[in-house]
Chains A and B, each alone.
Chain A
């Protein structure tokens, strides 16, 4: 039931853009995005609900395609502070829990 994330890892130079994808084989009600830095707890970035709009926060935004059961996280003009592992969490229609993907390790270099 885990969603599938891609790519598994990506290396960027400061200022470059990246897209992280998350897909599910089951009907989704919501998609969450989290970032985890090494040795720390995951931190919530945003949630996208079925029927909702594309969300954004400064240079990090996300979309949710309900028909394809997919979500994408967009990181624009990346900064060093964006480095970490990004997880998508998916909630299925009718369920009360969150299943996480295996993560995408993002490294931003100067």
Chain B
């Protein structure tokens, strides 16, 4: 059972570089979200999607783009990496927020130098 798969697990970027964090789920979940986790800040919502073709901003969307062309995939793009984007990124999926809990991927530890 794969669940939610994130790649890569670790990444180092130089300031100004762009990259895409991949997230895929095989549970046919409607809801998918991206969070970043920083020490003492908990999990903060970046972007989320309630279904294919539908995305919306969360609490901290600046500097990130998302798209949802299929139910399974929800990539997160960093447009021009900044040191402030150094963080651990988690992708999560669920059938619906009210139908049950979210399943998280194993995370991507990103360092921007």
Q: Identify the A interface with B (CB < 8 A).
A: 1-2, 29-30, 32, 34, 40-47, 49, 87, 89, 91, 96-103
| Chain A residues touching B, majority SS | strand
What's the tally of chain B residues with a CB closer than 8 Å to chain A? 25
- Whether the pair A42, B45 counts as a contact (CB closer than 8 A) is no
Looking across the interface, which residue of chain B has its beta carbon closest to that of A33? Answer: B101
Other-chain residue from A40, A41, A45, A99 in contact with B45 (beta carbon distance below 8 A): A99
**Assembly CA distance A100 to B91 (angstroms):** 14
* Shortest beta-carbon distance from B23 to chain A in Å: 12
The 11 sampled A-B contact pairs (Cβ below 8 Å) are A29-B98, A42-B43, A42-B90, A42-B104, A44-B101, A47-B98, A87-B42, A96-B50, A98-B102, A102-B41, A103-B42
Residues 76-113 of B, flagged 1 when their CB comes within 8 A of A and 0 if not, give 00000000000000100000011011111111000000
Looking across the interface, which residue of chain B has its beta carbon closest to that of A46? Answer: B101
Other-chain residue from B33, B40, B103 in contact with A98 (beta carbon distance below 8 A): B33
* Shortest beta-carbon distance from A75 to chain B in Å: 18
